[in-house]
Amino acid sequence: MRIQLRPDRDIRVSKVKTGKISSLILRNKSGLQEEPGILWIHGGGYFLGMKEMVYMSRAAELVRKYGAVVVSPGYRLAWRAPYPAAAKDCYQALLYLKAHARELGVREDQIMVGGESAGGGLAAAVCMMARDRGDVSVAFQMPLYPMLSNVDTESSGDNHGRIWNTRRNHIGWRMYLRKAAKQEVPPYAAPAWQTDYSQLPPAYTFVGDGEPFYTETMNYIQRLREAGVPAQCDVYHTDMHAFDMLQPDSESGRQAGKRFEEQYLYAAAHYFAAQPSLQDDRRRNVPI
């Protein structure tokens, strides 16, 4: 996989309006049908990044190799609008994916959510929103090395890892939460505060053992398992955050990519979630 911010010749890209923002739709040029649809959310500590980062993400490989359809939302960054703006934007993009599944060639019962870093945190939050609101069912989640906790953990406190560290982590959370940080932080803002992990989608992730998000990633997977949710995490020996994107040709980068694709293919073969009908009484008016 090459580091790039533009699509290659195997991927067809279009722009759409999803709620208040613009999102990218990535499809295989072969025009495959009945494939999983994936909401893929870019990282950047909640205050950096852009939707075009999807071209250098793991998700692009799923489009290129396996025909997945990916929606990449250009959510509002924290310097422009703090929580809950990004969470709302991503959830609206998920609703767009559900509503347009058939015309996009997506299986309605295989809508997935993923992302890296802050995008992984937003992916976890969106899955919690979807479960609580009951208006879209998510079949599988892939929150890679997710940014989940606004308080220091064993690995995020006094961390001097490459790319991301304690100082940058504090900046990101301070910008994202702002006034919300002075109150009880909800799990939609920082998913590590979630207390009910039941009925969340099966999950796969990976993380470096020396990077800031190691502890919160492992805790997230453990809590899913304790709630009876299938969840797996691979750990790589590195202190480089987002090593798979920044050093894709390294041994750990290649292995992470291989394992990620294996887990995606397993999910595509085994995990399905029928969409609720408009009359489904599980639908609740849960504020975001």
Asked if residue 94 lies in contact with residue 42, where contact means CB atoms within 8 angstroms, the answer is no
Domain assignment present for residue 3? The answer is no
Contact between 202 and 124 under an 8 Å Cβ cutoff? The reply is: no
Q: What is the pLDDT of residue 277?
A: 77
The verdict on residue 211 lying in a domain is: yes
pLDDT of residue 60: 96
CATH number at residue 198: 3.40.50.1820
pLDDT (tens digit, 9 = 90+) per residue, 160-189? 999 999 999 999 999 999 977 667 899 999
- Whether 282 has a pLDDT exceeding 60, the answer reads no
pLDDT digits (tens, 9 = 90+) for 96-140: 999 999 999 999 999 999 999 999 999 999 999 999 999 999 999
- Angstrom CA distances, 101 to 47, 90, 108, 158, 168, stand at 30, 16, 6, 44, 37
Whether residue 104 lies inside any domain: the answer is: yes
β-strand partners of 140 = 112
Average pLDDT over residues 4-8: 69
pLDDT score recorded for residue 40: 98
What pLDDT, on a 0 to 100 scale, did the predictor assign at position 284? 61
Residue-number span of the structural domain to which 82 is assigned: 11-270
φ/ψ region of 84 (left if φ > 0, alpha if ψ in -120 to 50, else beta) reads: alpha
Q: What is the pLDDT of residues 220-235, one digit of tens each?
A: 999 999 999 999 999 9
Per the domain annotation, does 288 fall within a domain? no
Q: What integer pLDDT is reported at residue 1 of this predicted model?
A: 39
Instruction: Tell me if 131 is assigned to some domain.
Output: yes
1 domain residue, yes or no: no
Say whether pTM exceeds 0.85. yes
pLDDT at res. 217: 98
- Total of domains in the chain: 1
* 31 pLDDT above the threshold of 80: no
227 lies in some domain: yes
Residue 279 covered by a domain:
no
